[in-house]
Amino acid sequence: MNRIAKTFSALIKQNRKALIPFITAGDPNPEITVQLMHQLVQSGADIIELGIPFSDPMADGPTIQRSSERALKHHVSLNGVLDMVAEFRKTDTDTPVVLMGYANPIEALGYELFALKAKACGIDGILIVDYPPEESGEWVQCLDRHGIDAIFLLSPTTPQERIEQVAKMAKGYIYYVSLKGVTGASHLDLQDVSVMLKQLRQYISLPIGVGFGIRDGVTAKAVASLADAVVVGSRIIEEIEKSDDEELLHNVGNLLNTLRKAIDEN
């Protein structure tokens, strides 16, 4: 059982839901990323999603796009991101780390070399936004050989055929995009989420995390009552964006504490 499975198993026994924060590696600068990862864990994160900076993040709204731009100004590469995870693992061997990004950097490195490096530094799962399940057979097999979970997105517009396909391929957890649009949108309809999750669970036995549109404790609590995990990205990036370097860790920690307490009220 890998770290992701262990985490969800422990949470189920405690009757708790997972809090999964997203940050972009290297934002606002590479020196603070590992400190920020530790801060997230101290403030209640169960799993960390770490974004690989990319020049054309098509699924992301302006907030996360800007975070990639800031990281890329510091020349943060895929290898640099893996180095950050290796540094994090020197003092945290328990918290699952999931990489999230786009196909180009993976393709440039090659599946096998990427998987070898990712496993060596302690990556537990990876979600590549622009790898559709229909074209992911070789990718998933490569990750399987190295014990890394292939995580997939599903959305309100995903057809049933693709849901069934993802159900057969995915490991770790499913990331359900709760609304149409890009990250940072805020028109979250909890009734729609509830209906869709019931449909998904007819096919999917993995935990389901819900992201997009979660901006405060009230929404996080409501989503946690429906899903197995709450994924928060843009709201955290906003906090990073508006914080001075000296206040950044403290402010992000406070935000995450607020979300954690709200989720645990269920």
Write out the catalytic residue numbers: 49, 60
Asked if 9 and 1 count as a contact pair (C-beta separation under 8 A), the reply is yes
What distance in Å separates the CA atoms of residue 239 and residue 221, rounded to the nearest whole number? Answer: 20
CA dihedral 91, 35, 18, 210 (to 10 degrees): -140
Query: How crowded is residue 113: how many other Cβ atoms within 10 Å of its Cβ?
Result: 11
Kindly list the distances between the CA atom of residue 241 and the CA atoms of 115, 214, 248, 252, 257, in Å, as whole numbers in the listed order: 31, 17, 9, 10, 18
Alpha-helical segments (H) within the chain:
3-13, 30-42, 62-73, 78-89, 103-109, 111-121, 137-145, 160-169, 190-200, 217-224, 234-242, 245-264
For 264, phi and psi rounded to 5 degrees? -75, -5
Quote the tokens at residue 148: 């890394």
Q: How is 87-131 classified by DSSP, letter by letter?
A: HHHTT-SSS-EEEEE-HHHHHHH-HHHHHHHHHHHT--EEEETT-
Residue keyed to tokens 């990639």: 68
